[in-house]
Amino acid sequence: MKLSTTILAAAALAAGPALAGEVAPADLKFDEYGSVSESLTGVPGDPENGANVLKNKSIGNCIACHQVTALNDAPFHGEIGPSLDGVGDRWGEAELRGLLTNAKMTFPGTIMPAYYKVEGFVRPGNAYTGKAPDGPLTPLLTAQQIEDVVAFLLTQKEE
Blockwise average pLDDT, block size 10, the chain, 159 residues: 40 42 94 97 97 94 95 92 96 98 96 92 69 81 98 94
Question: Pick from 143, 145, 150: which is nearest to 23 by CA?
Answer: 143
pLDDT (0 to 100) of residue 21 = 83
- pLDDT of 159 reads 74
The pTM of this model reads 0.82
Round to whole Å and give the CA distance between 108 and 9: 46
The alpha-helical segments, DSSP class H, found in the chain are 2-20, 47-55, 87-90, 93-102, 126-129, 143-154
Contact 53, 41 (CB under 8 A): no
- Which among 75, 42, 33, 82 has a CA at the least distance from the CA of 56? 75
> DSSP secondary-structure letter at 118?
-
Looking at residue 126, its pLDDT comes to: 67
The angle that helices 143-154 and 93-102 make with each other, rounded to 10 degrees, is 130
Select from 78, 159, 105 the least CA-distant residue to 96: 105
Instruction: Return d(Cα 141, Cα 128) in angstroms, integer.
Output: 24
Q: Which region, left, alpha or beta, applies to residue 107 given φ > 0 means left and ψ of -120 to 50 means alpha?
A: beta
Question: How far, in Å, CA of 35 to CA of 38, rounded?
Answer: 9
The answer to whether residues 36 and 117 touch, using CB atoms and an 8 Å cutoff, is: no
State which fold the 26-120+127-154 domain adopts. Answer: Cytochrome Bc1 Complex; Chain D, domain 2 (1.10.760)
pLDDT value of position 96: 98
Q: What is the pLDDT of residue 124?
A: 61
